[in-house]
Structure 1
Amino acid sequence: MATLLAGVPVTVVETHEDPADAVLFPAEEAVVANAVDKRRKEFTTVRHCARTALARIGVPAAPILPGHRGAPGWPDGVVGSMTHCAGYRAAVVARAGEVTSVGVDAEPGEPLRDPDVLDLVADETERAVLASLGARQSATPWDRLLFSAKESVYKTWFPLTGRWLGFEDARVELDPDGTFTARLLVEGPVVAGVELKGFSGRWIVRDGIAATAIVLR
């Protein structure tokens, strides 16, 4: 993730392990009190990453609780995004004066295991583009990247709107150069008096992880 966001005014902390010194605030402990061990480790480590990142921009440690639809509640004046998958956790934060919204997502760097998932995620146009990309670069898990990109779109969208955005509500086009664009198919959020029609992001497949990121300056 740090490589993906090089040159962008955000702070990234990522890990491939669950550190023993990662702890939760009591309010966070209550959220995962009945969770299975896997869920608890993900929840704890990604918040450890987030607090480490916040400390680097001078923000004191505080609980990061899931809010509406599970969106993390960041301290005032901060925007951020968190992600985790098997063997990887990451958090990205920034000062609200420098970044308007950020969305990141990480997935296993392999094709989607269930072909039915692609039918839920992608429309006919997107599937045609994926087929073309696959014919050119078959080693890249394009369907997984599309899924990840749509997750990043949602994570960028939600703090701006507080509204749900379905997979069918944005059309994503991946480019082999490591970038992607997302065109909103519904009314977009208004930022600084201008309605956003979409987002631009970056993708990478590295060390077994497929990751995407959007930073709205």
Structure 2
Amino acid sequence: MIGTLLPSPVESSEAFDDLAGQAGAFALFPEEEALIARAVAKRRNEFTTVRACARTALGRLGIAPGPIVPGQRGAPQWPSGVVGSMTHCAGYRAAAVARSTDVTAIGLDAEPNAPLPEGGVRDLVTRPEEHDWLARLQAERPEVSWDRLVFSAKESVYKAWFPLTRLWLDFQDAVIEVDAERRTFSARILTPEPLRTATGGRLSGFEGRWMVADGLIVTAIAVPAAG
């Protein structure tokens, strides 16, 4: 599923069932095991399965398995010369990776296709500039939870943004516009800090793709190294 949203230099892997407890490629490394030694079963299962996905994707790049542990602000620490992203939600785990010579950053997120919780969450996630198109699309296409799609898109934006800048990005620091027909989205970054790729090119935002399937909303960003 996720592979249809990503360009060819990116390798990906996904799972709809947890793989925890299986041997071989799905065993955790000691550094990973130490992170979840006291975790409940649900956390252990999702942690193990998403890393199995990541190792599968890395293997498709010809990279041997190794520990994938969180670094600053929880961002995964990938092998040298690799960029990537992981995501997990109920019933879905996925990872995507690429060589940094091909792709500068990847952002990946999956969410249930359900409205955001009541209690002001929508106002925390969305901006006034987004409310008109959200209302229009919710009336025209109620089968998609558009506010949740904005949440997912901004999660993907942050996952692409942070490895490039090492700066925090709030939900209110990005404006999302969605193309419902092409199933794409754009993100305009509102913070004053310049955003640059590893090769020195400047970005004013991100372009991504989205899909709805099997009760899930999935969003993905891949920034080409040449961009």
- TM-score normalised by L of structure 2: 0.92
Letter in 2 for 1:202: R
Unaligned runs of 5+ in 2: none
Letter in 1 for 2:11: T
Checking the alignment, whether the CA contact within 8 Å between 1:178 and 1:203 is kept in structure 2 is yes
Which residue among 180, 192, 203 is the counterpart of 2:210? 203
Which residue among 163, 166, 169 is the counterpart of 1:162? 166
Letter in 1 for 2:175: R
The answer for the alignment partner of 2:31 in structure 1 is 27
Q: Please tell me whether residue 100 in structure 1 is matched to residue 134 in structure 2.
A: no
The runs of 4+ residues in structure 1 deviating greater than 4 Å are none
CA drift of 1:129 comes to 1.7
Q: Please tell me whether residue 41 in structure 1 is matched to residue 42 in structure 2.
A: no
CA drift of 1:91 comes to 0.4
Two-structure CA RMSD over aligned residues (Å): 1.1
How many angstroms apart in 1 are the aligned matches of 2:108 and 2:184? 13
- Alpha-carbon displacement from aligned partner over 1:145-184 (angstroms, at most 9, x marks no partner): 0000000000000010111111111111111020000000
The answer for the alignment partner of 2:187 in structure 1 is 182
Q: Please tell me whether residue 171 in structure 1 is matched to residue 172 in structure 2.
A: no
SS of the aligned residue for 1:94 comes to strand
Q: Please tell me whether residue 135 in structure 1 is matched to residue 136 in structure 2.
A: no
How many angstroms apart in 2 are the aligned matches of 1:140 and 1:94? 30
Letter in 2 for 1:178: R
Identify which range, 188-197 or 54-63, moves more after superposition.
188-197
Residues 96 and 193 of structure 1: CA distance in aligned 2, closer, same or farther (over 3 Å)? closer
Unaligned runs of 5+ in 1: none
Checking the alignment, whether the CA contact within 8 Å between 1:188 and 1:198 is kept in structure 2 is no
Residues 115 and 202 of structure 1: CA distance in aligned 2, closer, same or farther (over 3 Å)? farther
How many angstroms apart in 2 are the aligned matches of 1:3 and 1:88? 16
CA drift of 1:115 comes to 5.0
* Count of aligned pairs between the two proteins: 216
Checking the alignment, whether the CA contact within 8 Å between 1:84 and 1:90 is kept in structure 2 is yes
SS of the aligned residue for 1:3 comes to helix
SS of the aligned residue for 1:52 comes to helix
Q: Please tell me whether residue 70 in structure 1 is matched to residue 71 in structure 2.
A: no
SS of the aligned residue for 2:138 comes to helix
How many angstroms apart in 2 are the aligned matches of 1:70 and 1:2? 24
SS of the aligned residue for 1:84 comes to strand
Query: Kindly, what percent of the aligned residue pairs are identical?
Result: 57
- TM-score normalised by L of structure 1: 0.96
SS of the aligned residue for 1:64 comes to coil
SS of the aligned residue for 2:163 comes to helix
The answer for the alignment partner of 1:3 in structure 2 is 4
CA drift of 1:124 comes to 1.1
CA drift of 1:188 comes to 3.3
